[in-house]
Structure 1
């Protein structure tokens, strides 16, 4: 059960990345401008016809908890590294691996909830018409092989290639 929970939470984290995964230099987008913004935010603002106030609010939402999300992501990586480095022949291996698994699950849950809060906050700044348009945009991205909030079905970075 615990293993299934971890797998589910990890999968949710990977697929719920979307808005506010990371920000570099105050920008949001892939490449030199960061992970999810800059050009991406500009394109979204154009397609959704966001007002200047909405754009400002969207950027604040995306970068608002960046530091905490980055620290949580690093903590998750450290926990996974500790888990991989455990000695399976040690007497307390099972106990330590269960504790690390619980810690990883808690950190993953925290990340999922933070991203969900960002999504909800972003949704709240949109008008009903913009929400409808945004839903259509997400559908189009998925049809083109992209996955809203991640790399999707094996598309994306070098780590996603077969």
Structure 2
């Protein structure tokens, strides 16, 4: 074979190799993106699984509380309300408020006190939303929420680490 022909073939082979390498690199980047998304989905699945378990535990606790209340005092109107008079929200209701706040901030990223309170009122209509603001303060003190600006909250501490697993 003549040298010019070999040079032409070499140039074509270089172009083909560049095209194939580019295609391979593209597939590798897509694979990394899919693996990253899969990790995010698995983390979200874990968080939501925990949320579902917490919600189920809340339902069971409330059912048990209603059963005990009904057994002690007999059936009364208003059974099923998650508040106890003059004692604030019971621990299971506070846990539900915390979980509702966490799930909302997982979806929103950041939210104001008003937005969070409206969300809690929407998803937990039987819970006294007046206690949402003190619960936010409590979660900040625990390090589970951070306050980037006055009246604005986002996940912090263990809740952030759990989200990214």
Structure-1-length-normalised TM-score: 0.32
The structure in which a higher percent of residues are helix is 2
**Which has the higher Rg, Structure 1 or Structure 2?**
2
Q: Which structure exhibits the higher relative contact order, with contacts defined as CA atoms closer than 8 Å and separated by 6 or more residues?
A: 1
Structure-2-length-normalised TM-score: 0.31
The structure in which a higher percent of residues are strand is 2
